[in-house]
Structure formats: C-alpha cells, structure tokens
Chains A and B, each alone.
Chain A
Amino acid sequence: MNRIDDQLNRLFRAAIHPDAGAATPPFGMEARVLAAWREAAQAPAGFWDMRLLVRGLIVAAALMVLSLWPAVQSQSGNPAADYQELADATVQVDSAP
C-alpha cells in the first residue's frame, strides 16, 4: 500500500460517523406519513390501476392484430389479383347478352 492510500484510509477511519441517525422521528412526521398513507389508500385503484391498464392495452393490441389479419392475408397473395378480378368483371359485363 502506498503512502497516499495509507493516509486516505486513516482519514476515512477518522471520519466514520458514530451514529448519524436519531432514534425518534421529529414532531409531526408521524402524522404526515400517516396522512400520505391514507391518501394513497383512498386513491381509486379501479380504473387507473396500472396492471389493469396494461392488461387492457394488451387485449386491445391483440384485437387490432386479429381484426387486421384477414386484410393482411388478402394483400399478401397476388398483388395484381384485384386488377385481374376487375378486368374479369369488365369482360363478363361486356360479354353479357
């Protein structure tokens, strides 16, 4: 250990706090903490409950994917299918008696 490290260690040992905390809370803190707890306990946990909100978002995302799935499937086939279908329909109308 070099000289600087030795001196730093001695400095830290001298600076150790014997006991930095008080054993009893200051006047009024108990009431403030209790009031904060009561307020938090009374807050509506129903609709704004985070877990419920996250679940709702997951269900909504799943529904979106499900509802878009048929459209995606039809698009992913032959990209010219719509035009061919339209042309067929025109030919059928033109050749109709």
Chain B
Amino acid sequence: MTDAEVEACVARGQQGDEGAILELFHYMYPHVAKLVNANLPGKESAEDLVQKACVKAITNLRQFSGKVPFLHWVSRIAVNTCLNQIRHEKRRPEVRLADLTEEEAGVVENLATRPNELDASQSLAARELVEKLLQGLRPPDRLLMRLMYLEGHSQEEISALTGWNGPLIKVRAFRARSQLRKRYALLMKEQP
C-alpha cells in the first residue's frame, strides 16, 4: 500500500466503510504482530495483545489526524498496549549461572572465551539469555532495551513509538544498560 492509498483507506474507514477497515487491519497486522511478539517473547497472550492493539487502533480511527504516518500511530498503540501488559510483571532480582540452561551457559562461555561473534546455532539460547537478563529491569527499561538492541530502532523512532522525549530515553537507556552490565558481570564472576 502506498501512502496515498493508506490515506484514502483511512478516510474511508473514518466514514464507516467496512471494506476500508478490513484493508487497514490486514495492512497493520504484520507490523503490530512483529512489535508485540518482539516485546513479549514466549508469552501465550501475545495473540490476544495483537488483537487488542488492532481493535484499539480500528475503534479509535476517527482520532487519527494524519499528522504522523498511519503505521507510526498504530505502532505507538501497540507499544503502549505491551507496556501496559508488562507493567505489573515482577522483576527477578538476579540471574545466577545455576539458573541457566546448558545452551545458555554455553553462550556465556563462548562470549567469555572467544572474541568473535556467536554462532547462528546459538541464536535461540542467546535470545533466552537476553530475556533472563532483561527480567531484572523495570518494564519501561526492558521495553527500551528490546526496541534499541533487539529491533535496532533509533532514538527518534523510539520517541515516536513511545512518546518519551530524547533526554528521558537517554537516561533510561543509560540506567538500563548499567543494570544489565551489573547482572552480566555477576554471571561472569561465577564463570569457572
């Protein structure tokens, strides 16, 4: 869909055209699913959250003013839905080597002993290890780390997605990164 097509579709949707609503849903779905799945990995409720974010966007379509691209507006709704979901999750105080699976411990060992990039076969274990490390952060910091390092969004993109201003993003990123560093250093200390 080109920008002009999206704009026309949104205008028809705002007038109550059901066909346009369907087109918009199919247009936004992959984007919302990607954001939700990346921010809530392994969660069974991810599909419900994708639906919730899509329903929010569709039912509030009249509030879309067109000042920002449609997908940015939808992304912000999706990110806020995720943030609301993870806000009440408990933080794990620390990760010990004994808590890791064999594969995750292998990743830690490889990182400590070899200077090169991890093998592609260790990607899944690396993702799980990152998730364990992120569990110790506050939910907004966790979301920020995922957006920044796992999805590669720039500060401006994160600002557009979350509504946080630049200094707030910088402060949160600094704080989250130093906490991650501490948690990872603790793992390294336990490394034989």
* A residues neighboring B (CB under 8 Å): 4-5, 7-8, 10-17, 19-26, 29-30, 32-34, 36-38, 40-41
Contacts and interface: CB of A to CB of B under 8 A. Distances in A.
Interface residues on B, range: 35 or more
Given A14-B123, A17-B38, A33-B54, A25 B112 contact: no
Contacts of B117: 10, 13-14
A33 B51 contact: yes
Nearest to A36: B55
A7 B184 contact: yes
A15 B30 contact: no
26 contacts: A7-B112, A7-B184, A7-B188, A10-B111, A10-B117, A10-B118, A11-B118, A11-B184, A12-B149, A12-B150, A14-B117, A14-B123, A14-B126, A14-B127, A15-B150, A17-B150, A20-B33, A21-B30, A21-B38, A22-B30, A29-B29, A29-B50, A30-B26, A33-B25, A33-B58, A38-B18
Nearest to B122: A14
A51 to B, nearest CB: 11
B31 interface: yes
Nearest to A13: B117
